Structure 1
Amino acid sequence: MDIAEAVEGVRSGPTGPTVGVFFDFDDTIVHGSSTLSIEDGQSDTEIAESARRHFAKKLAGFLYPEVWQLIRAHEAAGHTIVIASPVPQFRIAPVADALGIEHVLSTRPDTTATVREFAAERNLDLPSSYGYSHSDRELLAVVGTGVAVNPVDARNRFVVFRERGRAKPREVFRTAAGLAGFFGGVAAGGVEGLRVRDRRRSVDGMISHAGDFALKFAKIDVAVTGAHNAESPRPAVFIFNHQSELDLIVLAKVLRHGFTGITKKELATSPLFGPLLRFAGATFVDRSNTTKAKEALAPVVSTLRGGLSVVIAPEGTRSLTPTLGPFKKGAFHIAIQAEVPIIPVVIRNAGELYWKNAKTARAGRVDVAVLDPIYVSNWTLDELDERVEQVRELFAQTLSHWPES
């Protein structure tokens, strides 16, 4: 079965915390082995930090995106989610934290005994529970619904996850083609604007052409739901969930014209995005200095009142997994002061095709849902934390239950 069938099976199955969900680790949550070398004499703190760095720099790129979809489906059903694996706990911990999984079991030496003991402690109903593993038949046999992940021989129920992480020659070629398309689009759009001596038209042409050409040559399709919300009302503060530098190119294709961005100051020196962002009038924010960040955002209110929309990622930085980070309040303060609506732009799959530390992009499709505008004229500062959390939950719900196109 494919991932959509697996998720639907979870949604239509039993609910509640007495249903356990047991994930193996290697070749189940991550593609391949999560091996990490530890030096003799390292303290627990040093080992944990090494594991965290290993996850951020490498292992996150080998996470199966389908696992995240399954986890969210099981969470929505109220299930008790567990990673049960012979892999040492320090190697699993950063992944469990990133995926929001509270329980980690070391199943050495006996998987069945460990899982049964945990189930007894938590009053879990194993016949109603789920297990996912590439090769641990004991884990799959101890639960009512055992699902093999990419099995060598598919004797029983199984699901196929798509490998990512290792760059293939064709991906290197497509990434180079995408970069060429990006710069070609920038040049084509710039020439258009210069011909009529209109800076704004030049910026809009550069943005839209760069998005179109880069995605076309990289073999990345964009499917948009709610495209009418990208056009009207404007000006607006467009907020998006941030997993990948690919997000910026996708936004260029979806929004196309009449906007500028608020981004981290490091992008000002990016050879890919820096020159275009500066020419487009982007605001660069020092995230390490709250006072300077607020000062930098002050002129953005005037930008909005002048008719230009603004794009900002309320998470503040790219995430290593599809899990949403906390939302900062800057975008919402700006919208309130400028008296313009907030329009959520929910992006799915961008991190799968081009994760945070990737060197190459994969071909595929990015889904985008442009949600209905949120009007903030009646919001008060006292309720802002609650309102922001409601918007974040709207993103989470959209990612879990994608709207029909």
Structure 2
Amino acid sequence: MPLHARLTREIREGPTGSKIGAFFDLDQTLLAGFSATAFVRERLVTGNMSPRELSTTFYGALSFALGRTGFSALMAATTAAYRGLAESMLEEVGEEVFVKHLARQIYPEARALVQAHQEAGHTVAIISSATRYQAEPLARDMGIEHVLCTELEVRDGVFTGEVIRPTCYGEGKAIAARSLAAREGLDLDESYFYTDSHEDLPLLEAVGRPRPLNPNRQLAQIAKERQWPVRRFSSRGRPGVADIVRTGLTYASLVPSMWAGAAAGLVNGSYREALNVSGAVWGDLATSLAGIDLRVEGEEHLWSHRPAVFIFNHQSALDAILMMKLVRRDVTGVGKMELKRNPIFGPIFSAAGVVFIDRSNSSRAIEALKPAVDALKEGRSLVIAPEGTRSPTPRLGRFKKGAFHMAMQAGVPIVPVVFRNVLDAFPKDATIVRPATIEAVVLPPVETRDWKVETLDEEIAAIRDRYLEILHQP
């Protein structure tokens, strides 16, 4: 049964085909929060926001909030400050804002809904009062083809300071949806619309399947009166007390784990046993306290060939704990040099024999990997992320060759571990761990003894293709 099965059951068991539309609002629906806030903050922090733009944006937003002006007037006032600005600047800001802020605010449940509609062959669209500079990076990441939004006038790559009307707000959303329906042959009576706001009532009434998500007070009342199904997500946004307590216990679990390892090491007179027990106990205790339900497929492959190079797709700081829970003993790792400077984890990982590499210096990085190869030859396994860094989204990054070179040099197999949904629990740069169900698919060991340097790229590509297949990514 797929994750979020109850949430997506209606879609999976309903009609299929491209004539059915699935329209998603952006803010507070796909995202926890407001994309415009992150956009303005980024321009302000980087010094790219002029005093005129700042004052215009502030007073325009205040007038709109007080009901003195409508949305179109708000957009006209704020857009006027863009006159003469190159469109490419906002495109660059939009990409940066998505990576730094918005990617980790996407509701995992919203991702599941979008994916379910895509698998059903529905025509999926983001429909938002935001501009394309806020919406398109997210749409591209989620594989959403259609973006219907408020358009700003551009001539010769430069903003004129004018807004193209009608704006995609209120009745404007219904107009945009009907236009897409006419172009794509959609049946609005069979289509879905997900939104949080009562201001989107015209489009909610235009589709056959209105689906309020995280509705505001007014929309919640309308949904109750009309018996529309309502869903609320709490996996993103402001954490609750339970989330904070759970996170504190997760971090604190390192202490008893180290004491357990120290006791085992003293009793057995073995430093390696101390490391084995500490790592395994921390993996079990931390995931349990964090509310992580780790479901493993292919667990037998974790033990069939040791030592081995265990590789995994790197999404979260939680990955290290998950790998300790899976691999459990006789293992070391490779980490970035910045981790060595961490006052808490740096000394611990150094004591565990983790090899730290300077990613800014490729020649030194290659030299630094020699102790890891020696550890493999001595019988210890190695855990490493071939992407080299965490991704803010589930998209699989490019694989670097270091892990595969080390496996070849030591004559040990590669054991691929594919994580799904780790970002649900702990996205990049997050501080709070959320309860989540995480899946780990352990693939059969891949022998490297017959590999040749000349064909290494093909071998790596074949393994990466298996990841893409399991992650349902193109």
Q: Tell me which interval the TM-score lies in, with the shorter structure as reference length.
A: 0.7 to 0.9
Q: Report SS of the residue matched to 1:239.
A: strand
Indicate conservation of the 8 Å contact 1:72/1:400, yes or no.
no
Task: Read off the aligned partner of 1:70 and give its amino acid letter.
Answer: L
Compared with structure 1, are the counterparts of its residues 364 and 280 closer, same or farther at alpha carbon in structure 2 (3 Å cutoff)? same
The Cα of 1:124 is off from its aligned counterpart by 5.3
Unaligned runs of 5+ in 1: none
Q: 1:126-145, aligned counterparts within 5 Å?
A: 130-135=192-197, 136-140=200-204, 142=206, 145=209
Using the size of structure 2 for normalisation, the TM-score is 0.74
Q: Report SS of the residue matched to 2:130.
A: coil
Indicate conservation of the 8 Å contact 1:20/1:81, yes or no.
yes
Task: Read off the aligned partner of 1:330 and give its amino acid letter.
Answer: G
**Larger radius of gyration, structure 1 or 2?**
2
The Cα of 1:70 is off from its aligned counterpart by 3.1
Per-residue Cα deviation, 1:184-215 (whole angstroms, up to 9, x for no partner): 21232133214433221122122112223333
- Which residue matches 1:166? 238
Compared with structure 1, are the counterparts of its residues 66 and 48 closer, same or farther at alpha carbon in structure 2 (3 Å cutoff)? same
- Which residue matches 1:213? 285
Unaligned runs of 5+ in 2: 44-48, 54-80, 151-166
The Cα of 1:106 is off from its aligned counterpart by 0.8
Indicate conservation of the 8 Å contact 2:310/2:384, yes or no.
yes
Percentage identity across aligned positions? Answer: 41
Compared with structure 1, are the counterparts of its residues 11 and 221 closer, same or farther at alpha carbon in structure 2 (3 Å cutoff)? closer
- Which residue matches 1:60? 103
Task: Read off the aligned partner of 1:232 and give its amino acid letter.
Answer: S
- State which drifts further: 255-264 or 372-381: 372-381
Instruction: Note if 1:111 corresponds to 2:173.
Output: yes
Q: Distance in 2 between matches of 1:82 and 1:324?
A: 23
Q: Distance in 1 between matches of 2:137 and 2:32?
A: 16
Compared with structure 1, are the counterparts of its residues 375 and 179 closer, same or farther at alpha carbon in structure 2 (3 Å cutoff)? same
Once superposed, what is the RMSD of the aligned Cα atoms?
3.1
Q: Distance in 1 between matches of 2:121 and 2:413?
A: 34
- Which residue matches 2:213? 149
The Cα of 1:111 is off from its aligned counterpart by 1.5
Task: Read off the aligned partner of 2:299 and give its amino acid letter.
Answer: A
Of 171, 175, 182, the residue aligned with 2:247 is 175
The Cα of 1:85 is off from its aligned counterpart by 0.9
Q: Distance in 1 between matches of 2:120 and 2:208?
A: 16
Q: 1:58-97, aligned counterparts within 5 Å?
A: 58-77=101-120, 79-97=122-140
Compared with structure 1, are the counterparts of its residues 188 and 374 closer, same or farther at alpha carbon in structure 2 (3 Å cutoff)? same
The Cα of 1:150 is off from its aligned counterpart by 3.7
Q: Report SS of the residue matched to 1:86.
A: strand
Indicate conservation of the 8 Å contact 1:218/1:363, yes or no.
yes
Compared with structure 1, are the counterparts of its residues 160 and 386 closer, same or farther at alpha carbon in structure 2 (3 Å cutoff)? farther
Task: Read off the aligned partner of 2:328 and give its amino acid letter.
Answer: R
Q: Report SS of the residue matched to 1:301.
A: helix
The Cα of 1:30 is off from its aligned counterpart by 0.6
- State which drifts further: 158-167 or 226-235: 158-167
The Cα of 1:4 is off from its aligned counterpart by 1.4
Indicate conservation of the 8 Å contact 2:108/2:235, yes or no.
no
Matched residue count: 400
Indicate conservation of the 8 Å contact 1:133/1:139, yes or no.
no
Compared with structure 1, are the counterparts of its residues 45 and 156 closer, same or farther at alpha carbon in structure 2 (3 Å cutoff)? same
Indicate conservation of the 8 Å contact 1:27/1:134, yes or no.
yes
Using the size of structure 1 for normalisation, the TM-score is 0.85
Q: Report SS of the residue matched to 1:347.
A: strand
- Which residue matches 2:438? 366
Q: Report SS of the residue matched to 2:35.
A: coil
Q: Distance in 2 between matches of 1:186 and 1:351?
A: 27
Task: Read off the aligned partner of 1:204 and give its amino acid letter.
Answer: N
Per-residue Cα deviation, 1:360-380 (whole angstroms, up to 9, x for no partner): 222344333323223344445
Q: Report SS of the residue matched to 2:335.
A: strand
- State which drifts further: 319-328 or 17-26: 17-26
- Which residue matches 2:275? 203
Q: 1:246-257, aligned counterparts within 5 Å?
A: 246-257=318-329
Indicate conservation of the 8 Å contact 2:235/2:434, yes or no.
no
Indicate conservation of the 8 Å contact 1:11/1:73, yes or no.
yes
Task: Read off the aligned partner of 2:177 and give its amino acid letter.
Answer: V
Compared with structure 1, are the counterparts of its residues 144 and 237 closer, same or farther at alpha carbon in structure 2 (3 Å cutoff)? farther
The Cα of 1:18 is off from its aligned counterpart by 6.0
Q: Report SS of the residue matched to 1:398.
A: helix
Instruction: Note if 1:240 corresponds to 2:312.
Output: yes
Compared with structure 1, are the counterparts of its residues 82 and 219 closer, same or farther at alpha carbon in structure 2 (3 Å cutoff)? closer
Q: Distance in 2 between matches of 1:391 and 1:21?
A: 34
